[in-house]
Amino acid sequence: MASSSRSWRYNVFPSFHGPDVRVTFMSHLKKQFQHNGIIAFNDEGIERSKLIGTELIRAIRGSRISIVVLSENYGSSSWCLNELVEILKCQESVGQIVMTVFYKVDPCDVRKQMGEFGKTFKETCEGKTETQVHKWIHALTHVANIAGEHSVNWFVLVFYP
């Protein structure tokens, strides 16, 4: 089904590692969504577990756009990694738009699971099945190849009178 011909529950599904960006980048982004009338899924109040929850899958599948905010500890969360796998399934099956933001992490480190990102990702993979790890590696490699915003390119201009 073409994405333009269906009805979406949310305009945006944001995928992010909360401790890294919830009170910084995401709080500002959510305010802008609200200000501009963009309906974004809000994950607050969802109980966390090892497997991605039914409500979360429904939210991902019901979103026109997913914004994946990759940060240094994104790969430390099996929850985030499972979200990412589902997001990419939706990109493939229904044409969901996937946008990336690399927040204080190098896209190359995500793509190749290197540096601090790679270290925490490898720890997350311990004890997981080879199939699960392969899905995560494929998803991270794919999403890191999507042209996106990189926080090192951001700057703040301060003007003094």
Q: What is the pLDDT of residues 61-114, one digit of tens each?
A: 999 999 999 999 999 999 899 999 999 999 999 999 999 999 999 999 999 999
The structure's pTM equals: 0.86
Structure confidence by residue, pLDDT tens digits, 2-25: 445 678 999 999 999 988 888 888
Residue 161, pLDDT > 60, answer no
Q: Specify whether the CB–CB gap between 59 and 106 falls below 8 A.
A: no
Q: Specify whether the CB–CB gap between 120 and 51 falls below 8 A.
A: no
Report, as residue numbers or ranges, the catalytic residues.
Answer: 83
Structure confidence at residue 20 (pLDDT): 85
Rounded-to-integer distance, Cα 79 and Cα 83, Å: 6
CA dihedral 108, 114, 120, 125 (to 10 degrees): 100
Structure confidence at residue 48 (pLDDT): 64
- In the 8-state DSSP scheme, what is residue 47? P
Mean pLDDT computed over every residue of the chain: 88
Q: How confident is the model at residue 155 (pLDDT cuts 50, 70, 90)?
A: low
